[in-house]
Amino acid sequence: MSIKDVGASTGPQTEPATHQSRTRMFAGKEIVTESSVAVSLSEAALARGMEGHPPLTKEESEKNARAMAEVRKANMAAVTRGGPSLASEFYGDPATANDAVRFIGFFQHSTMAADDMASALHQAMTSPEVNGDYTTNAMDLALMQAKLNKVVEQFVSADYQQQASDFVASYISEKAEQADQMTRVVLSQASKLAQSLGDEEQAKHHQDAIDQLSEGTHSSQTVRNEMLQLTASNKESDVWFSRLNNRVSESRSLPYISEIEKQHISALQQQWQHFVDNLNSVA
């Protein structure tokens, strides 16, 4: 679609209007919404449009800025109506802020106070800030799954629990896909580097790993699936951490890698206990 310039028939035309759409996730489904229409005008049209409109005074500019700020505030209030304070860590922490709006259904069907739900979700979606590898990343995702499911089980109303559970499953699956994409990018870069250095054997090794990712058989995927299955099929946290520790002990990883993984398990266990204690305090 195009919008013609207003003026003489011999004047230039505007550039086409562009529709900007935004995709959001809700209850595990993508919803595409038309959010705005941007129109690009020619310089001549802009000049004609400004005729008869003197520049705004400082006071008028400040008044307009305040009005726009109020509009933004009202829009945010509409998004979070029935939700927590916008000062909540859930909205302020970069680890959770980008996905926070996707959990609006949890607040609308919560059996706990909105700020308590925000705190629970923030704790459920954050992991220990320690270095690790794809094994520790898999542990983080498995524990995130367990914590989110516990929030659903204890503090989401019965009429919404199935939708909330489906959303959690979709959300965790999406995070797994994102992890695979990051691994694919790293492997692709490594393969190109090996090729540039003339190391065809190493380049093939990385390409084989990329093929495994596509097939779902890469070691990072098998480890992650194993851990996700562990926290999904068993609600006993002692069993989780015992099996995770046994797995690390039985692995053939280098000693310093095993030590990193064991320290990460310890941090996850402490985080889990803190999470459960907080939930019990508001139950």
Q: Would you kindly state where each structural domain of the chain is located, as residue ranges?
A: 1-54, 55-126, 130-282
**pLDDT, position 1:** 43
- Give per-10-residue mean pLDDT for the chain (283 aa): 38 40 38 36 46 67 72 50 79 93 95 96 92 91 98 97 98 97 96 95 96 96 97 94 96 91 96 96 83
List the alpha helices (DSSP H) in the chain: 43-50, 58-79, 89-92, 94-97, 104-108, 114-125, 134-155, 161-196, 200-215, 219-233, 237-250, 255-282
- Amino acid 55: pLDDT: 67
Q: What angle do CA 85, 89, 91 make, to 5 degrees?
A: 65
- Tokens found for residue 192: 């190109």
The dihedrals phi and psi of 78, each to the nearest 5 degrees, come to: -65, -40
Q: What is the pLDDT of residue 97?
A: 94
Question: Is pTM, for the whole model, over 0.75?
Answer: no
pLDDT value of position 26: 32
